[in-house]
């Protein structure tokens, strides 16, 4: 069985992240597994799905969020190691 990918979008401000999440979920077959408040206004949304879907969703989400706010970072991790799930409950 192929492992899923994890996608992350980090934005400055919750409104920007909500815009990113809306666009990401509408653009590809991904699931949002949660979000994390980092501090100093930074928030990160986490998505899972197959690699191509997560890449497309994260790109669409970052573009949408960039139009209304600031996107700090975007990352896609294809086939993450099983031990990565020990870091947080946002990883499915």
Q: How confident is the model at residue 75 (pLDDT cuts 50, 70, 90)?
A: very high
Q: Which of 92, 89, 87, 30 is nearest to 55 (CA)?
A: 30
* CATH number at 5-87: 3.30.70.1710
pLDDT at 89: 64
Lowest mean pLDDT among 21-30, 32-41, 48-57, 82-91: 82-91
pLDDT at 78: 94
Give the residue extent of every domain in the chain.
5-87
- Cα separation, 87 vs 92, in Å, equals 11
pLDDT at 1: 35
pLDDT at 2: 53
List, for residues 43-74, the tens digit of each pLDDT value: 999 999 999 999 999 999 999 999 999 999 99
Say if residue 31's pLDDT is above 50: yes
């Amino acid at each position: 069985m192929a492992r899923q990918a994890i996608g992350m979008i980090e934005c400055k401000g919750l409104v920007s992240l909500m815009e990113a999440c809306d666009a990401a979920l509408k653009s590809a077959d991904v699931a949002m597994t949660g979000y994390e408040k980092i501090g100093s206004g930074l928030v990160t949304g986490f998505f899972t799905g197959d690699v191509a879907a997560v890449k497309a969703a994260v790109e669409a989400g970052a573009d949408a969020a960039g139009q209304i706010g600031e996107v700090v970072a975007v990352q896609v991790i294809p086939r993450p190691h099983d031990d990565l799930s020990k870091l947080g409950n946002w990883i499915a």
